[in-house]
Amino acid sequence: MSIRKILTVGNTQLREKSQEISTITEDIKALCADMVETMQAANGLGLAAPQIGILQKVVIIDFGYLEHDQLVEKGEKGEDDDFETNPVALINPTIVSIEGNPYTMEEGCLSIPHYRANVSRPSVVTCQYTTLDGTEVVKIFQNLGASAIQHELDHLNGILFIDHIGRLKRNSALRTVKRFLATVEQNGSEYERRLYGNA
């Protein structure tokens, strides 16, 4: 496994559409392992392959984080309680249905570091995908999970979360990322330099 460089907003590859994966090969499994390590190094909830320059339909989402969030919402656990990570690879994911009232949450993106903004999305989505062992899955996601799925699948279609907010906020996001990248080599943490640096 290895940490990959994360592409940031402004890179044209983030605006391209990804291709379906016809066969789950050992290379795809190795890619997913690298994506997990990269996502965890960046403290992310999810990561799509285009974010590391691979235009294939695969995303990683930490189901452990989503499950913990649902428990917190129900009052079954404290927000400070530990939770176990459970990164899952979704191969060729597609949304088969969308419903529910709009759910608004503050979103961030590893390709738009140090910027967050509120985004409203449908609160319930049904997603179909294939696991790394070839199992076909249909799963319903709600609230944070629904937002996370829609956010990551947007990446597969060349869409970023800032496309869902106003022009002034988008311009603010671009300025924030530009400032971050200008200083990451000198002032960034070790992981920020590995994830976003020029080396």
What mean pLDDT value characterizes the chain?
A: 91
Residues 6+ apart with CB under 8 A from 150: 95, 121, 122, 125
Mean per-residue pLDDT, 19-39: 97
Q: What percent of the chain has pLDDT over 90?
A: 81
Alpha helices for 13-125 (secondary structure H): 26-41, 63-74
pLDDT (tens digit per residue) in 134-184: 999 999 999 999 999 999 999 999 999 999 999 999 999 999 999 999 999
For the annotated catalytic residues, the residue numbers are 152
Domains of the chain with CATH codes: 12-185 (3.90.45.10)
Range name among 70-74, 81-85, 177-181 with the lowest pLDDT average: 70-74
Tell me: pLDDT of 77 over 60: no
